[in-house]
């Protein structure tokens, strides 16, 4: 709270008030949520499916770990000391916090135990298919039901206590040990990739040390090593007074630019060599991420700069893919000139521009949310038409267009995922350049003015029609490049690949990554495309976690991973210390608590 430094100095002589007591009723409420969460985790089959995965060989399966991790998280939440308000002493964690954590954990455990009892007494498997004898076995730790009930509550309480206990660690220890544990989990989940990485750079022995086998779980030695190594790293980092970001901001402008450029080059070099080191699968994933990134940069212009909520962005992606497919594939139904992809690109751009105009024109006068649903409609229309029997003589219908040839530039043929990474990377760099260049240009400023307030922008002399049309066209062209590369890389296009989920994914990428910021969008694409692909074994629950992640991100960090400065400011201006007051004392009806505080 830097802005209250001065007054705080003045009140230092005054005695600080005692902080409010931790609300145990809140702990009970959180306990009920905890119970609900744990029951859902068990009943949706997450425990059962994850149980097959060992974190540490041989005793730590992921299923039960995940279940009790939920309890731990709730315990941690319940025991959180209230924020320090102006004029109050900071709250010191005490037995009440432990009680809160334990209480939350216990209630969660009780809920789980109840589920176990219900599951074993009645046969609910007809309705809730995951409540199998196998799950009962797992939940009860192999004990009898009666014994298991006590065991579950006991373990959950202990875990909740542990969650509360985190606050008793000195801050530096906390900031070292928690990430250390997190990294153990990360190493265990990504064993495949990490093994590949060390193998790729020639350090096979590390993989042998850490894991039982290639792609297998961590060994005890491995887990301890990772934990100690990362904890030490964070410990060292915790000792510094300022964060990296703060020190960066304090540098003079010229040095900052140099560091930024250097960082960008370094990132690009790493991304460059990644495919060679990491093998075909990771390259494929990076290819997919790259294509989505290309689209995200396009939508970034349409939505981030011009403020047009386009929910049918996939239509342009499809136009690019199908135009390229028709022009290059020998199996294109109506008309197959069999151009090379490079030769086809100008036509792809023209087709995309036309599509952009077709979509933009009817919506020129429409307001924000109407625009959203209409563009969504256009996206669906595109997919249905591509799939239709009516237009099948041109687009191949449900059978799509296959045998799209590989990209060829002169004597070079790009075939494998590693090869394709190069052109995709280049296109992304060009798109990023365009994005950054446009931002400072007249066009960019016109778009941003339009985004802020259309009427005022028009009054200032900006031609809204041209602005909207140009935004759509530029966005369409970028998306169409993505589509052309997509079709070429996979070798075939089917209408199924161009549904509304793609539009939504691109939208989520730019919001979660950080709208308007190129590094943010890059991180967003990597996080939202690469990550689920790398965790493919949990794909049954992929969308579940995806949804939870979205909700969590929006609640905690709506400006995205790496936001543009302005956006972060916009989204957090409302936050004042005031909000903390409201959070603790609520609205009407908490008179007693206020009185206590002033005693």
Partner 1 sequence: MKTRKGLLALIATLALIVAACGDGGGEGDGDGGDEPGVGALGAIEVAEGEPIKIASLQAISGDASSLGTDQVRAIELAITDKAEIAGHPIELAFNEDDLCSSEGGQTGATRIVADTDVVAVIGTSCSGAGVPASEVISGANRVLISGSNTSPYLTSDLAGNEGPSHHDGYFRTAHNDGIQGAAAAKFVFEELELTQIATINDGDPYTEGLTSAMAAAFENLGGEVVVNTAVTADQTDMRPVLTEVAAAGAELIYFPIFQPAGDFIAEQAQEVSGLEDTVLMGADGLLSDTYVVLPQTKGMYFSGPNTPTTGEYDAFVAAYEEAYGEPPIQSFHAHAYDATMMLFTAIENIAQESDGTLVIDLQALRDELHDITYEGLTGSLKCDEFGDCASVEGIDIFQNTEDTADIVAVRSSPIITYTPEELGIGG
Partner 2 sequence: MTEATAPARPTRRASRITPVATFLWFLRIVALVVILYGSFQSISSGRLTAAQWRDLIVFGVSTGSVYALIALGYTMVYGVLRFINFAHGEVFMTGAMSAFLVANGLATTSLWASNPVLSLLIVLLASMVTSTAVAVIVERVAYRPLRGAPRLIPLITSIGASFTIQYIVRGLVGPSTKAFPRVEQLRGTWNIFGLVILKSQVVVIVAALLMMASLYLFVERTRTGRSMRAVSEDPETAALMGINVDRTIVTVFAVGGAMAGVAGALWGLVFPSLNFFSGFLPGIKAFTAAVLGGIGNIVGAMLGGVSVGLFESVGPSLVLAGYEIPAFSQLKDVVAYLALVLVLIFRPSGILGERLATERT
Where does this chain bind partner 1 (CB under 8 A)?
125-126, 129-130, 132, 196, 215, 261, 264-265, 268, 272, 276, 279-281, 283-285, 288, 331, 384, 387-389, 397-400, 402-403, 409, 412-419, 422, 425-426, 429-430, 433, 436-437, 486, 489-497, 533, 536-537, 539-540, 542-543
Task: State which residue, 49 or 225, has the beta carbon closest to partner 1.
Answer: 49
| Binding range to partner 2, per CB under 8 A, among 14-22, 136-144, 218-226, 377-385 | 377-385
Q: Does 577 bind partner 2 (CB under 8 A)?
A: no
Q: Does 571 bind partner 2 (CB under 8 A)?
A: yes
Q: Does 473 bind partner 2 (CB under 8 A)?
A: no
Q: Does 136 bind partner 2 (CB under 8 A)?
A: no
What separation in angstroms does the CA of 113 have from each of 98, 144, 154, 386?
Answer: 22, 12, 11, 52
CA proximity to 47, closest of 29, 65, 33? 65
Residue 60, beta-bridge partner list: 56
Q: Does 568 bind partner 2 (CB under 8 A)?
A: no
Buried b (16+ CB within 10 A) or exposed e, 391-429: ebebbbbeebbbebebbeeeeeebeebbbbbebbbebbe
Instruction: Please say whether the dihedral angle defined by the alpha carbons of residues 278, 491, 498 and 419, taken in this order, is positive or negative.
Output: positive
Q: Does 40 bind partner 2 (CB under 8 A)?
A: yes
Largest CA distance in the chain: 86
Site for partner 2 in 380-409 (CB under 8 A): 380-381, 384-385, 387-390
> What is the distance of C-alpha 271 from the center of its chain?
19
Q: Which does 497 bind (CB under 5 to 8 A by kind): partner 1, partner 2, none?
A: partner 1
Q: Which does 212 bind (CB under 5 to 8 A by kind): partner 1, partner 2, none?
A: none
Q: Which does 361 bind (CB under 5 to 8 A by kind): partner 2, partner 1, none?
A: partner 2
Q: To the nearest whole angstrom, how small is the minimum distance from the Cβ of residue 200 to partner 1?
A: 12
CB atoms within 10 A of CB 236: 10
Q: Does 543 bind partner 2 (CB under 8 A)?
A: yes
How many residues bind partner 2 (CB under 8 A)? The answer is 61
Q: Does 562 bind partner 2 (CB under 8 A)?
A: no
Q: How far apart are CA 389 and CA 396, in angstroms?
A: 8
Tokens of 583: 């959070």
Are the C-beta atoms of residues 40 and 115 closer than 8 Å to each other? no
Site for partner 2 in 301-340 (CB under 8 A): 309
Q: To the nearest whole angstrom, how small is the minimum distance from the Cβ of residue 226 to partner 2?
A: 31
* Single residue of 370, 426, 441, 578 touching partner 2 by CB under 8 A: 370
Instruction: Please say whether the dihedral angle defined by the alpha carbons of residues 122, 128, 132 and 136, taken in this order, is positive or negative.
Output: negative
Q: To the nearest whole angstrom, how small is the minimum distance from the Cβ of residue 149 to partner 2?
A: 23
Q: To the nearest whole angstrom, how small is the minimum distance from the Cβ of residue 207 to partner 2?
A: 33
CA proximity to 318, closest of 489, 500, 168? 500
CB atoms within 10 A of CB 378: 22
CA proximity to 485, closest of 300, 286, 333? 286
Q: Which does 63 bind (CB under 5 to 8 A by kind): partner 1, partner 2, none?
A: none
Q: Which does 259 bind (CB under 5 to 8 A by kind): partner 1, partner 2, none?
A: none
Q: Does 43 bind partner 2 (CB under 8 A)?
A: yes
Alpha-helix residue ranges (DSSP H) falling in 166-313: 171-189, 191-200, 204-210, 220-238, 244-250, 253-299
Q: How far apart are CA 479 and CA 531, in angstroms?
A: 22
| Binding range to partner 2, per CB under 8 A, among 75-83, 146-154, 277-285, 536-544 | 536-544
What separation in angstroms does the CA of 502 have from each of 203, 312, 499, 529, 559?
Answer: 38, 9, 6, 11, 21
Tokens of 478: 């970028």
Task: State which residue, 340 or 402, has the beta carbon closest to partner 1.
Answer: 402
Q: To the nearest whole angstrom, how small is the minimum distance from the Cβ of residue 490 to partner 1?
A: 5
Cβ contacts of residue 464 below 8 Å, gap of 6+? 364, 450, 454, 457, 458
Q: How far apart are CA 259 and CA 425, in angstroms?
A: 22
Place of tokens 């964690």: 93
Q: How far apart are CA 156 and CA 41, in angstroms?
A: 14
Task: State which residue, 134 or 239, has the beta carbon closest to partner 1.
Answer: 134
Q: Which does 276 bind (CB under 5 to 8 A by kind): partner 1, partner 2, none?
A: partner 1
Q: Which does 433 bind (CB under 5 to 8 A by kind): partner 2, partner 1, none?
A: partner 1
Site for partner 2 in 51-70 (CB under 8 A): none
Task: State which residue, 102 or 493, has the beta carbon closest to partner 1.
Answer: 493
Tokens of 386: 């591509």
Q: How far apart are CA 427 and CA 513, in angstroms?
A: 19
| Binding range to partner 2, per CB under 8 A, among 15-23, 122-130, 487-495, 520-528 | 122-130
Task: State which residue, 157 or 196, has the beta carbon closest to partner 1.
Answer: 196
- List residues binding partner 2 (CB under 8 A): 40, 43-46, 127-130, 309, 361-362, 364-370, 372-374, 376-378, 380-381, 384-385, 387-390, 453-455, 465, 500, 504, 507-508, 511-512, 515, 541, 543-544, 546-551, 553-555, 558, 570-571, 574, 587
């Amino acid at each position: 709270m830097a802005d209250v430094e001065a007054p705080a100095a003045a009140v230092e002589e005054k005695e600080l008030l005692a902080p409010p007591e931790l609300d145990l009723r809140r702990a009970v409420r959180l306990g009920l949520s905890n119970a609900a969460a744990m029951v859902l985790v068990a009943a949706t089959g997450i425990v059962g499916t994850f149980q097959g995965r060992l974190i540490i060989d041989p005793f730590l399966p992921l299923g039960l770990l995940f279940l009790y991790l939920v309890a731990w998280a709730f315990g941690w939440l319940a025991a959180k000391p209230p924020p320090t308000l102006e004029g109050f002493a900071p709250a010191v964690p005490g037995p009440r916090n432990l009680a809160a954590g334990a209480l939350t954990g216990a209630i969660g455990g009780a809920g789980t135990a109840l589920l176990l009892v219900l599951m074993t007494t009645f046969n609910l498997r007809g309705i809730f298919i995951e409540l199998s004898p196998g799950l009962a076995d797992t939940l009860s730790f192999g004990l009898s039901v009666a014994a298991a009930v006590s065991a579950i509550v006991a373990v959950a309480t202990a875990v909740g206590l542990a969650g509360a206990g985190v606050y008793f660690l000195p801050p530096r220890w906390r900031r070292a040990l928690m990430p250390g544990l997190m990294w153990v989990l990360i190493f265990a989940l990504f064993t495949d990739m990490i093994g590949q990485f060390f193998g790729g750079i020639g350090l096979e022995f590390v993989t042998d040390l850490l894991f039982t086998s290639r792609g297998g779980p961590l060994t005890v030695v491995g887990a301890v090593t990772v934990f100690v190594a990362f904890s030490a790293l964070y410990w060292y980092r915790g000792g510094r007074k300022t964060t990296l970001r703060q020190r960066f901001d304090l540098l003079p402008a010229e040095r900052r630019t140099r560091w930024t450029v250097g960082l960008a080059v370094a990132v690009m070099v790493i991304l460059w060599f990644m495919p060679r080191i990491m093998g075909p699968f990771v390259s494929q994933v990076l290819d997919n991420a790259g294509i989505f990134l290309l689209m995200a940069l396009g939508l970034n212009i349409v939505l981030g700069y011009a403020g047009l909520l386009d929910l049918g962005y996939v239509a342009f992606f499809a136009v690019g893919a199908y135009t390229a497919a028709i022009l290059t594939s020998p199996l294109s139904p109506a008309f197959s000139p069999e151009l090379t992809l490079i030769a086809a690109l100008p036509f792809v751009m023209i087709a995309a521009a036309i599509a952009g105009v077709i979509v933009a024109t009817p919506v020129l006068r429409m307001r924000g949310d109407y625009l959203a649903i209409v563009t969504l409609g256009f996206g669906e229309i595109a997919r249905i038409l591509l799939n239709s029997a009516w237009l099948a003589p041109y687009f191949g219908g449900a059978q799509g267009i296959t045998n799209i040839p590989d990209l060829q530039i002169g004597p070079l043929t790009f075939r494998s995922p590693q090869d394709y990474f190069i052109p995709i990377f280049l296109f992304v760099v060009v798109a990023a350049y365009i994005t950054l260049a446009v931002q400072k240009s007249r066009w960019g400023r016109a778009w941003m003015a339009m985004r802020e307030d259309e009427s005022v922008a028009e009054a200032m002399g900006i031609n809204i029609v041209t602005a909207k049309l140009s935004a759509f066209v530029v966005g369409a062209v970028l998306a169409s490049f993505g589509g052309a590369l997509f079709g070429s890389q996979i070798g075939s296009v089917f209408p199924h690949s161009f549904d509304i989920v793609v539009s939504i994914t691109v939208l989520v990428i730019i919001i979660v990554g950080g709208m308007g910021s190129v590094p943010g969008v890059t991180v967003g694409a990597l996080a939202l495309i690469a990550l689920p692909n790398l965790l493919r074994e949990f794909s049954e629950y992929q969308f579940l976690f995806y949804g939870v992640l979205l909700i969590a991100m929006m609640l905690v960090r709506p400006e995205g991973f790496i936001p543009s400065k302005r956006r972060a400011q916009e989204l957090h201006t409302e936050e004042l210390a005031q909000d903390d007051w409201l959070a603790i004392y609520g609205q009407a009806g908490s008179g007693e608590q206020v009185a206590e505080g002033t005693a």
